[in-house]
Amino acid sequence: MAQAVIEVRNPFDLELVGTIPECSAEDVAAAIAAAVASLSTPFPAHERYRVLMAASRSLDDSADEIAELLAREGSKTIREARREPPRSAEVLRLSADAARRVQGQTLPFDVRPGSEDRRGYYMRVPAGVVAAILPFNDPLAVCAHKVGPALAAGNAVVVKPDSRTPFAPMRLVALLHEAGVPQDRLQIVTGSGEVVGRAMVENPHVRVVSFTGGIATGEAITRSAGIKKLILELGANSAVIVMDDADLDRAIPAVVSGAFAQAGQNCLGVQRLFVHRAVYDTFRERLVHATEQMKAGHSLDGTVDVCAMISAGEAKRVVSWIEEAVAAGGNVLTGGDREGAVVRPTIVEQVPDTCRLSKDEVYGPVVCLQPIDGLEEGIQRANDVAFGLHAAVFTNRLDDALTAAESLQVGGVIINDSTDYRLDTMPFGGVKGSGIGREGIDAAVTSMSEERVVCFNP
């Protein structure tokens, strides 16, 4: 009997991009068993370095083809999509370098009386099989961020892409195989989260689950994973504080980009804006003007700034959240409507804290605008949600920047830039409902390996 398939369609016009196999739980078990068996074959650091570097060059050579694929299957404009392959290739290069730096250190056993003659050290060894479960919004870059460090640390990896954006990750896995990664050392399984994702998470032979996605799924993973390492990046409701001394020429474009790039479907996206009352009116006027210049349309149109969300259903949900906020007293300054899966970039003023736009992750092109009287109020309101991934502050006062850095309950505080800033080498992750653990090359290598102590008693 032929294997069932899943159709992948462009969210703007529902054009068929292609089909993928709908794998079963038995397919997942077989892939993990093969991954476990592959760990008995040596995969030395020099070879890991070589294949990751070779794959990075192939990815650079394929950048235009993969960018078009990203724009067709997902929620990126072609201009946004063109940035993802070069970034992903750099992640592979950074991972290759990390493969040559997986190391431990010596231990001073003579700190304990009677152990003066002992000598020893600890070394880092692969954790084992890593289950890498990807989101739809940055499918190639997130795949590189999970697979690159996992291979650098010497693991085997089984990848599950989101069924709506599978083709770019599938292409990356193919390039890694062509570069020399053994087939069983890196595998990809496609299908639903309920079947394929659950089978990966619950399999006792998986030693690390690296998941990027929603908080509800993250909570389900923590309940069902069993005893294994979890690296969970679960989204955000990121706040930006704009102080009275802020450089608005820097703040406005950074906020607009941070709020509306990728149709707002970005875990680091700007969702709440707290603006000092002294500059509030000017900021609001300039923000609305800049937002209304953005063009919405098909992802392959090179003049488009905001393309379709991942589905019309998600677009309907976002508009329903806007309508809820308006019914509670919020004021739409621009946008607020949709056409199919396209939601016009939206600014809503004075959204009550009880509304979903204020307290939950909207994951759409909407930003909430509120006045504040000072930094202390901005920090308190920024912290008053169940998430804590990134926050940002625009100020030229060093003491305000340091106060914010020490007081904001997040994984990253960005000064004079959007929350949507990430350096691929920095530890990346959040607190509270935003997740567990850290990504970023070195942080991920550490999370995907184990310390093994060796002690000699002469």
> Does one domain contain both 322 and 257?
yes
**Torsion sign (Cα): 359, 364, 370, 374:** positive
46 domain residue, yes or no: yes
Q: What's 168's domain CATH number?
A: 3.40.605.10
Looking at every residue in the chain, the average pLDDT score rounds to: 96
Q: Is the pLDDT of residue 102 over 90?
A: yes
116 domain residue, yes or no: yes
Residue 183 per-residue DSSP state:
G
pLDDT score, position 2? 54
> Does one domain contain both 397 and 271?
yes
**270 forms bridges with which residues in the sheet?**
238
281 domain residue, yes or no: yes
pTM: 0.94
429 domain residue, yes or no: no
> Does one domain contain both 391 and 312?
yes
> Does one domain contain both 207 and 258?
no
What is the tens place of the pLDDT at every residue in 256-286? 999 999 999 999 999 999 999 999 999 999 9
Distance CA(181)–CA(66), nearest Å, equals: 20
Q: Is the pLDDT of residue 54 over 90?
A: yes
What is the tens place of the pLDDT at every residue in 170-212? 999 999 999 999 999 999 999 999 999 999 999 999 999 999 9
**Torsion sign (Cα): 383, 384, 387, 390:** negative
> Does one domain contain both 130 and 148?
yes
182 domain residue, yes or no: yes
- Strands of the sheet containing 270-276, edge to edge, are 331-334, 346-349, 366-372, 270-276, 238-242, 390-394, 412-415
pLDDT score, position 3? 77
If one counts the domains in the chain, the total is 2
CA quadruple 49, 50, 56, 60: dihedral, nearest 10: 150
Structure tokens at 358: 């204020």
Choose among 145, 131, 229, 146: nearest CA to 187: 131
> Does one domain contain both 281 and 208?
no
> Does one domain contain both 266 and 293?
yes
> Does one domain contain both 172 and 158?
yes
Q: Give me the percent of the chain exceeding a pLDDT of 70.
A: 100
> Does one domain contain both 12 and 68?
yes
> Does one domain contain both 142 and 28?
yes
> Does one domain contain both 376 and 444?
no
Q: What's 330's domain CATH number?
A: 3.40.309.10
pLDDT band at residue 1 under the 50/70/90 scheme: very low
Q: Where are the beta strands (DSSP E) in 352-432?
A: 366-372, 387-388, 390-394, 412-415, 431-432
Q: Is 211 helix (H, G, I), strand (E, B) or coil?
A: strand
Distance CA(49)–CA(96), nearest Å, equals: 4
> Does one domain contain both 213 and 306?
no
| Parent domain of 252 | 238-424
Mean pLDDT of 146-155: 98
Positions marked catalytic: 233, 267
Residue 257 per-residue DSSP state:
H
What is the tens place of the pLDDT at every residue in 324-349? 999 999 999 999 999 999 999 999 99
Distance CA(41)–CA(278), nearest Å, equals: 65
